Structure 1
Amino acid sequence: MKKYFFLMFLSLVLVLAGCSESEQLDTTSDKIEQNENNADNQDDEETKVENRKTVELNSAEDEKMGSAVLEQVDGGVEISLKVEGMEPGKHGVHFHETGACEAPDFESAGAHFNPDDSEHGMENENGPHAGDLPNVEVAEDGTGELKFTAEHISLLADEKNSLMDEDGSALVIHEGEDDGKTDPSGESGNRIACGALE
């Protein structure tokens, strides 16, 4: 009889030990899965940062003139530009080759972003520059918006046409309308607002 109870007790101990080990394995498995999910989420966040940029545009007097959100999408970079405090009418908008916006003339931004050595203008048969964009039209209240997907540029650092190369790039707005064909800048006049991408 004692032997029977001893065997029952031993069986119960083994069952409980097995359950405990199983729970530990389940907990370990859950932790591994959670760590993997955290790593995946971190990679996703880093990708989002790489694929999305915000550019603040300022005048030569360091007054805010607007901002642009850039997002890497299939087929290029989607640009959502909003401006304020500008003269009514059409204004040329371009990406320039260097991420520097030194007042008063923003010449530090260099020429238009043009890795393929093309001519300026979307209406130019030898163009456009990769950094050429449509004009932004400003209303009487000084505000304007431009939404456009630029297919000749990228935000990915390892691409030939990346805005995020070693010296960055700049988004520049000009005082006049870009005629879309005249090299090198569409007769769009002085640079009145600039925002650096670095």
Structure 2
Amino acid sequence: MNKIAVVRCMMSLSLMAASTAFAATTSAEAPLKATAGNKVTGTVSFDQSADSLRVKARIEGLTPGLHGFHIHEKGDCSAPDGTSAGGHFNPSATAHGDPAKAAHHGGDFGNLNANDKGVAELDVKVPLTQVNLTDGNAANAVGRAVIVHAAPDDMVTQPTGNSGARLACGVIAAK
């Protein structure tokens, strides 16, 4: 093999390695486990496309009605009450609010609505500027926690929405 061919081969291998090292995660999942004294479980999945992040959740064991649902800043569910997950994920340093309006935390997803069997489902698409799965991006949710709360998010109270106790916690991990 001549020198030019060797250099081209090495450059190709370097480019392939670099593109693999910086490949974006396109899907992640957070299996939810009940906090102490609760029976809430479920799964939250995240699928990233070129322009949005699809968030799908199925949660069971809830009381019927509304329950706050947020991404929290730390991927730590070790505390019996879920407080080790910290506060709401807020990469843009904005006020807590309604996810249907412009100003809100990246981790604000509003409320889940549990039916009479205690099951809540969610299927939303959010802009990648709010939350994403991209390594090195401030809005990257991988390694953070999802929390389901006992009370509805009032979309107003700072910085939490007055959502009450944490019923379930799960760490978001790349798939």
Q: What's 1:127 paired with?
A: 103
Q: What's 1:175 paired with?
A: 150
Q: What's 2:34 paired with?
A: 59
Q: Which amino acid aligns with 1:153?
A: V
Q: What's 2:133 paired with?
A: 155
Task: Work out the CA distance in 2 between the residues paired with 1:130 and 1:123.
Answer: 9
Q: What's 1:195 paired with?
A: 170
| CA offsets 1:57-113 (integer angstroms, 9 cap, x no match) | 010148561101101123331101001111111000000001010232111101100
Q: 2:84 aligns with which of 78, 87, 108?
A: 108
**Higher-strand-fraction structure:** 2
Q: 1:4-43 alignment to 2 at 5 Å?
A: none
Per the alignment, in what secondary structure is the counterpart of residue 92 of structure 1? Answer: strand
Given that 2:99 and 2:109 are in contact with CA atoms closer than 8 Å, whether structure 1 keeps it comes out as no
Percent same amino acid at aligned positions? Answer: 32
TM-score, length basis structure 2: 0.78
Task: Work out the CA distance in 2 between the residues paired with 1:63 and 1:124.
Answer: 29
Aligned in 2, Cα 1:159/1:196: closer, same or farther, shift over 3 Å? same
Task: Work out the CA distance in 1 between the residues paired with 2:53 and 2:136.
Answer: 15
RMSD between superposed Cα atoms in Å: 2.5
Which ranges in structure 1 are unaligned for 5 or more consecutive residues? 1-38
Task: Work out the CA distance in 2 between the residues paired with 1:176 and 1:102.
Answer: 22
Given that 1:96 and 1:131 are in contact with CA atoms closer than 8 Å, whether structure 2 keeps it comes out as yes
Q: Which structure ranks higher in relative contact order (CA pairs < 8 Å, sequence separation ≥ 6)? A: 2
Q: Which amino acid aligns with 1:179?
A: D
**1:115 positional shift:** 1.4
Per the alignment, in what secondary structure is the counterpart of residue 108 of structure 2? Answer: coil
Task: Work out the CA distance in 1 between the residues paired with 2:45 and 2:101.
Answer: 29
Task: Work out the CA distance in 2 between the residues paired with 1:54 and 1:83.
Answer: 13
Given that 1:124 and 1:181 are in contact with CA atoms closer than 8 Å, whether structure 2 keeps it comes out as no
Given that 1:98 and 1:108 are in contact with CA atoms closer than 8 Å, whether structure 2 keeps it comes out as yes
**1:197 positional shift:** 1.9
**1:127 positional shift:** 2.8
Structure exhibiting the larger radius of gyration computed from Cα positions: 1
Q: What's 2:160 paired with?
A: 185
Which ranges in structure 2 are unaligned for 5 or more consecutive residues? 1-15
Task: Work out the CA distance in 2 between the residues paired with 1:69 and 1:149.
Answer: 12
Task: Work out the CA distance in 1 between the residues paired with 2:90 and 2:162.
Answer: 17
